Amino acid sequence: MNLQELTSSAKGLVKSFGLPRIIIGLFLLSLFITAPFVGVNIGTSLSDTFNRFGMNAVMVLAMVPMIHSGCGLNFGLPLGIIAGLLGATISLQVNIPGPTSFLLAILFATPFAVILGWGYGQLLNRVKGGEMMIATYVGFSSVAFMCIMWLLLPFNNPTMVWGYSGTGLRTTISTEGYYLHVLNDFLSIQLTDHLTIPTGMLLFFALLAFIIWAFLHTKTGTAMTAVGSNSVFARASGINVDKVRTLSVIMSTWLGAIGILVYQQSFGFIQLYMGPFYMALPAVSAILIGGASVNKASILNVVIGTFLFQGIVTMTPSVMNSMIHTDMSEVIRIVVSNGMILYALTRKTEVIR
């Protein structure tokens, strides 16, 4: 192979993977290389990155069905998160300890996700072309509404309600004694004193990712992709466009509900009230950084984008803190995460083919 052919193949590789992802990947690699020289334990950094990947990957996966059906990026993800929070709080109210509480949380969250997703889908069918703007307001307004409901719903588990009044749920509720680390600890592999692979959480994401991949290759999944590619052609082919779009929104809402449960079992707390308010932005940004567009996304986009986004957000503060010898981790984390969100949203039309 001559130099010209090598250059041509290299350009093709860069174009297929995307120059922005290569730059971000090289930056993340440089952070991992720099870490040991500034006193940051590489094992701890890798462990944190894997944990954050597993915590957030399912919520990023929730973007895929709606993108495939042409509904765009799911800025209404907080609606699915609220369904997951309802499942989680009801599970704790039932007060069955251990891993069973995680299964109960999924079971209780599912009907809420289906109902809310159906209503959300009906709304988006009436505002075709402006889905992402309407979805943003749906997410924000639903969080605000639930701020009232968390105070009024009749929960009475002492670990959940405010101690001074006995009514109204606390802002944060611990999952200790219930489903704390139920996935993290399942088949976990401790390679070193500082590096632990949360195998159960990664396998759970892999299972959901496989289910979505398999669904998209079924007759209904192919119809969903057809609706997203060309709704006029899909309607002419006999596909019920509105029904398919609603199904994709229900799927996305359900994945959002499951995603927040996975997040909670790793994080250790259920965050209510304004907790879900901005959670859609990192998920949207991750899948865009992974190479998706507003009308095309794949499981590979989810994996690449989540790892790059969470890797940068995890590594940058710790490396920068060690370099400048001061604690600015939260400031740096906010600057980096919001900077990546801004970058991703300005490149939303780019796509890997």
Bridging pattern class, strands 196-197 and 189-190: antiparallel
Whole-prediction pTM: 0.89
Residue 119: its pLDDT value, please?
92
Residue 12 has pLDDT above 80, yes or no: no
**Secondary element (H or E) of residue 174:** strand 172-174
Residue 214 has pLDDT above 90, yes or no: yes
What's the pLDDT tens digit per position in 122-148? 999 888 877 788 888 888 899 999 999
User: How many Å apart are CA 198 and CA 175, to the nearest integer?
Assistant: 18
Residue 19 has pLDDT above 90, yes or no: no
User: How many Å apart are CA 352 and CA 333, to the nearest integer?
Assistant: 28
* Torsion angles phi and psi, residue 348, rounded to 5: -70, -15
**Cα distances (Å, whole numbers) of residue 28 to 22, 188, 308, 319, 326:** 10, 25, 7, 11, 21
User: How many Å apart are CA 353 and CA 16, to the nearest integer?
Assistant: 7
Residue 17: its pLDDT value, please?
65
User: How many Å apart are CA 89 and CA 264, to the nearest integer?
Assistant: 11
What's the pLDDT tens digit per position in 24-73? 888 888 888 888 888 888 888 889 999 999 999 999 999 999 999 888 88
Residue 11: its pLDDT value, please?
66
Nearest to 175 by CA among 167, 165, 166, 185: 185
User: How many Å apart are CA 260 and CA 55, to the nearest integer?
Assistant: 8
Query: Which band of pLDDT confidence, cut at 50, 70 and 90, is reported for residue 351?
Result: very low
What's the pLDDT tens digit per position in 190-207? 888 888 899 999 999 999
* Torsion angles phi and psi, residue 194, rounded to 5: -110, -15
